[in-house]
Amino acid sequence: MRLVPTEEERDLAAMLRQLFADHCPVAVVRGLREPGADRFPKRLWDELTRAGVLELPFAERHDGAGGGLVEVGVLAREAGRALCPSIVLGTLGLGLAVDALGDDALRDRLLPGVGRGETRGVAAVASPWDAGDLAPTLSATTEGAGWRVSGVVRYVVDADLADLVLATALTPEGRTVGVLLRPGDTGRVEQLRTSAGDRYARLHVDATIPAADVLPDLDPEAVRRVALTLRALACVELVGVTEAILDRTVEYVRGREQFGRPIASFQAAQHLVADIHIGLQAARLTALSAAYRLGRGEVATRETAIAVLHTAEAARRASLDAHQLHGGMGYVLETDLHLWSERARELGVLGGGPDQATRWLEREVVDAPA
């Protein structure tokens, strides 16, 4: 694994940071959260599509840019810094899942549309509370030329914005298949209210879908790698969130004066900022390590678990210390710090937090060859 980014990666990060600064400022983030607002960031989406961002990881034969998970990690980190709406990385996650689990015909049919921004979606192939839990919550049986699918897909991010949701279903023979669902057409979308806004939903599915939208006989290890890839990318995004928290905190303590001098000059404040920085570096290295190994085709359960442990703890510590250093200002909703701390709390647990990651490590140790 390379610890120093290449020139191409630095250029990509710089381009993305400027793009997000121009088209995803805090005012846009706040506007998307307003009650009754259209949550789809059309202007940002159009700019990302124009820049070729949504085609980053796909092969050139599918109208992609031929990149890999490292490049997606660069995007995830900058997206975290900018609080990019989750439909962007969710759609890339759908594309990565189709690329990993589908056949050439499905890739030819779906990936160009994802890369051009014509198809939005999300992959829901594991429990939202534990990426290591791959048990399907849908059932599927053949019915004529198609498949009858029924059940509930729990806690789907951005289901109301998605054209497609890739989920898994269990057949009567005990086989796992992938199913491409069209929210609203294949059942009822039940919006859920959470502290992160109305971005989550349950999909109540009861419909017949065409055979072309079914991915038969999925390899459990391939599904596991997809689930862990999505979790690892969330860790990289969390690194970006934590970096933004640190940057905002440093800027604040340099300008905020107490007893006639900036509070950045006080040793206690310096120690807190230093601790955030140290935790952030461990989070960055472990998250990038997980993404690197997953990008090489490994399942990387251990590396992903370690990334979850470090990124979740670094973000939690950074959020708490940042609010403390901001004093009362940190707890006022009219200021912006809470936007990052809320995203940090969400990314720290979605797909499995430190408790679940510890169990993944325990299973890895138990199952490891002597």
Q: Collect all residues with Cβ–Cβ distance below 8 Å to 297 and sequence separation of at least 6.
A: 225
**pLDDT tens, residue by residue, 74-122:** 999 999 999 999 999 999 999 999 999 999 999 999 999 999 999 999 9
Going by C-alpha positions, the residue among 188, 192, 209 that lies closest to residue 201 is 192
Q: Find out whether 344 and 316 touch, Cβ atoms under 8 Å.
A: yes
Pairing outcome for strands 164-170 and 138-143: parallel
**pLDDT tens, residue by residue, 256-279:** 878 888 888 889 899 999 999 999
Q: Find out whether 205 and 181 touch, Cβ atoms under 8 Å.
A: yes
Strands (E), 211-298: 214-215, 257-258, 261-262
Please state, as a whole number, how many other Cβ atoms lie within 10 Å of the Cβ of residue 172: 9
Q: What distance in Å separates the CA atoms of residue 242 and residue 280, rounded to the nearest whole number? A: 7
Q: Find out whether 280 and 287 touch, Cβ atoms under 8 Å.
A: no
Please give the average per-residue pLDDT across 302-320, as a whole number. Answer: 97
Question: Phi and psi of 46, rounded to 5°?
Answer: -65, -40
pLDDT at 197 over 80: no
Q: What distance in Å separates the CA atoms of residue 31 and residue 136, rounded to the nearest whole number? A: 36
Q: Find out whether 29 and 80 touch, Cβ atoms under 8 Å.
A: no
The pLDDT-based confidence of 62 (bands split at 50, 70, 90) is: very high
pLDDT at 290 over 60: yes
Higher pLDDT, 100 or 333: 100
Domains of the chain plus CATH, in order, are 7-119 (1.10.540.10), 124-218 (2.40.110.10), 221-367 (1.20.140.10)
Range name among 9-23, 181-195, 315-329 with the lowest pLDDT average: 181-195
Give the tokens for residue 300.
């990387």
pLDDT at position 198 is 61
pLDDT at position 22 is 97
**pLDDT tens, residue by residue, 198-252:** 688 999 999 999 999 999 989 999 999 999 999 999 999 999 999 999 999 999 9
Q: What distance in Å separates the CA atoms of residue 107 and residue 111, rounded to the nearest whole number? A: 5
The pLDDT-based confidence of 36 (bands split at 50, 70, 90) is: confident
Q: What distance in Å separates the CA atoms of residue 196 and residue 339, rounded to the nearest whole number? A: 9
Please state, as a whole number, how many other Cβ atoms lie within 10 Å of the Cβ of residue 231: 26
Q: What distance in Å separates the CA atoms of residue 309 and residue 22, rounded to the nearest whole number? A: 33
3 state DSSP class of 100: helix
HSE toward the beta carbon, residue 292, CA cutoff 13 A:
13
Q: Find out whether 163 and 184 touch, Cβ atoms under 8 Å.
A: no
pTM higher than 0.85? yes
